[in-house]
């Protein structure tokens, strides 16, 4: 028997066959079901977005109730134990873990773009010191597009990849500066001799010392935390608005600012918390 759904419209007595693909029906297939010729047709009503698939994804599988998180098929326990955040970022973007040569080139490319424009410093001082951290971060992440107008060419794969790298590279700098602004401390510039997470700790906590030496335990713990939050899969709180932003061909930076704005909500990361002891203990 074919994978179809038979619907009988009791208003008209008409029967319809809807194709079932991977456990789903297409919402537009409901449009053909009409009470009369003037009727617009049926629509799916799902205001909480609780039973709607917006896309097909092979990137992330997360099931908080079962404590499952996989990136590209790799269990989170394996990645958290043996990989770095930058390796996982490569995996999410490219589909496979990098070779040794690919990883070195990837890290070098990210390290090359850690600095942000000095005008970001000046603009940040326009916020009150107690402004919400996520609000500040979203503002300056979106503002990066004004420094990189070519990022709007999102249909060009090379341009997309270039600005994805820049976002990954500059995010720790922006986040650390938001924190330093909130605490009234001077901004610390990136130290590219450190690891990705070590450099973030440097920009967060360095005080008067000439060289910051990150605690390796904290450095690794932060790396694992970044791995856990590296991707969210197309869940209700992030999926639909983000896809809408992408479909109107927004530049990468404003779209990411849009996505990160929802990360400050009270319901974010509950599935990650449900993973419990499935990641290494530091």
- Domain co-membership, 78 together with 212: yes
Summarised one tens digit per residue, pLDDT across range 64-80 is: 788 889 999 999 999 99
Residue 60 has what DSSP assignment? E
- Domain co-membership, 73 together with 188: yes
Summarised one tens digit per residue, pLDDT across range 209-223 is: 999 999 999 999 999
- Domain co-membership, 196 together with 229: yes
Rounded CA-CA distance 82/76 in Å is 10
- Domain co-membership, 118 together with 208: yes
Residue-level pLDDT at 269: 52
Would you say the pTM of this structure is higher than 0.75? Answer: yes
Residue with tokens 């070590």: 198
Residue-level pLDDT at 272: 52
Summarised one tens digit per residue, pLDDT across range 177-188 is: 999 999 999 999
Summarised one tens digit per residue, pLDDT across range 228-251 is: 999 876 665 555 555 444 444 445
Residue-level pLDDT at 50: 84
CATH number at residue 243: 1.10.580.10
In a domain, 55, yes or no: no
- Domain co-membership, 144 together with 274: yes
Rounded CA-CA distance 236/244 in Å is 13
For 15, the 3-state DSSP assignment is strand
H helices present in the chain, as ranges? 76-82, 85-94, 100-111, 118-124, 133-147, 157-183, 196-205, 216-228, 239-247, 252-261, 270-273
Supply the angle between the helices 252-261 and 133-147 in degrees, to the nearest 10. 170
- Domain co-membership, 104 together with 147: yes
Residue stretches of the chain with pLDDT short of 50? 243-250, 252-253, 257-258, 260-262
- Domain co-membership, 12 together with 109: no
In a domain, 54, yes or no: no
Separation in Å, CA 190 to CA 177, 197, 280: 11, 11, 28
- Domain co-membership, 10 together with 37: yes
Residue 108: domain span: 60-278
């Amino acid at each position: 028997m074919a994978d179809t759904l038979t619907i009988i419209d009791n208003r008209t007595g008409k029967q319809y066959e809807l194709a079932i693909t991977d456990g789903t029906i297409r919402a537009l297939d409901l449009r053909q079901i009409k009470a009369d010729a003037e009727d617009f047709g049926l629509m799916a009503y799902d205001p909480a977005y609780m039973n709607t698939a917006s896309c097909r994804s092979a990137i992330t599988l997360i099931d908080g109730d079962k404590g499952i998180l996989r990136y590209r098929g790799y269990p989170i326990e394996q990645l958290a134990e043996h990989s770095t955040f930058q390796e996982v970022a490569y995996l999410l973007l490219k589909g496979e873990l990098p070779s040794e040569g690919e990883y070195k080139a990837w890290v070098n490319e990210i390290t090359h773009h850690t600095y942000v424009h000095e005008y970001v410093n000046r603009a940040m001082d326009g916020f009150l010191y107690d402004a919400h951290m996520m609000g500040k971060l979203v503002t300056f992440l979106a503002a990066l597009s004004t420094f990189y107008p070519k990022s709007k060419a999102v249909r060009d794969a090379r341009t997309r990849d270039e600005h994805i790298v820049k976002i990954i590279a500059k995010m720790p700098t922006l986040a650390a500066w938001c924190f330093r602004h909130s605490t009234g401390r001077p901004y610390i510039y990136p130290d590219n001799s450190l690891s990705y997470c070590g450099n973030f700790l440097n920009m967060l906590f360095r005080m008067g010392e000439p060289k910051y030496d990150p605690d390796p335990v904290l450095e690794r713990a932060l790396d694992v935390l970044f791995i856990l939050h590296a991707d969210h899969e197309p869940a209700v709180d992030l999926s639909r608005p983000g896809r809408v932003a992408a479909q109107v061909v927004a530049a990468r930076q404003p779209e990411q600012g849009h996505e990160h704005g929802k990360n400050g909500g009270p319901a974010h990361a509950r599935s990650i918390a449900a993973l419990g002891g499935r990641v290494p203990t530091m």
